[in-house]
Amino acid sequence: MATADLWTVERECRAQGLRRICGADEAGAGPLAGDVYAAAVILPYGCLLEGLNDSKQVSPKKRDRLFDEIREKAVAWAVTSVGAAVIDEINILNARLLAMERAIQALDPAPDFALIDGNRDAGITCPHRTLVKGDSRSANIAAASILAKVTRDRIMKGYDAQYPQYGFARHKGYPTKAHLQALETYGVLPIHRRSYAPVREALMPHLDLCFDAHDQH
């Protein structure tokens, strides 16, 4: 069950007169393919959700259950994403913050204050506080992490049906050995992030041959 510790930060905010406090988190900064997703959530203060924690610490089955419970019980929630082309243009750090800003702005009612997972906050316009490892310290951030991850995982499973040879249902776009082999064998897809080194290398398969030829002269 969600512990009192997950409400410590929100309790501090409420002591300052803040009431509608949201948590924001993202999923998918590391993968080579797909959007980066972000969620923002305002839970009723003190709401207990069994098993609520950082999404990476929760089993897929429990994440699916929490996904439904969070959406049912939240005062407000929103999930947004930023695509591969924008990630390539502005870099993943800025893209994850843009996704969180969009999620916060989509909340209705709007929050008085936002708790942002991590230690960066460029572009966040709502009054806020960053929180390192916030998904294990704040109930609202933990809830946001669940919504973002479950949404992204489901989207990647959809891509698996569209591109079955890449195995997205298994690795969700992360740079596993199987994914890297698929990149080498089948090439780069529109959903791949071209600014990421393994994808760049897959776009230039002749590069090593050119270097080898040059070294022999």
Contact 21/13 with Cβ under 8 angstroms? yes
Per-residue model confidence (pLDDT) at position 204? 84
Q: Is residue 184 part of a domain?
A: no
HSE on the CB side for 204, CA within 13 Å?
A: 12
Q: Is residue 152 part of a domain?
A: yes
Mean pLDDT along residues 55-71: 92
Q: Is residue 26 part of a domain?
A: yes
| pLDDT mean across residues, the chain | 92
Give the distance, in angstroms, between the CA of residue 118 and the centroid of all CA atoms in the same chain: 12
Please name the helix (run of DSSP H) or strand (run of DSSP E) that holds residue 30, with its range, or none.
none
Mean pLDDT along residues 9-36: 97
Beta bridge partners of 82: 36
CATH of the domain at 100: 3.30.420.10
One-letter amino acid identity for 207?
Answer: L
Q: Is residue 59 part of a domain?
A: yes
Q: Is residue 175 part of a domain?
A: no
Return phi, psi of residue 198, to 5°.
Answer: -60, -30
Per-residue model confidence (pLDDT) at position 130? 98
Q: Is residue 137 part of a domain?
A: yes
Per-residue model confidence (pLDDT) at position 37? 98
How is residue 192 annotated by DSSP?
A: B
Per-residue model confidence (pLDDT) at position 215? 52
List, for residues 73-132, the tens digit of each pLDDT value.
999 999 999 999 999 999 999 999 999 999 999 999 999 999 999 999 999 999 999 999
Range of the domain at 50: 4-164
pLDDT at residue 28 above 60?
yes
Token code pair at residue 216: 């022999």
| Burial of 208 (C-beta count, 10 Å sphere; 0-12/13-18/19+) | exposed
Counting the structural domains of the chain, the total is 1
Q: Is residue 97 part of a domain?
A: yes
Three-state DSSP state, 118: coil
Q: Is residue 76 part of a domain?
A: yes
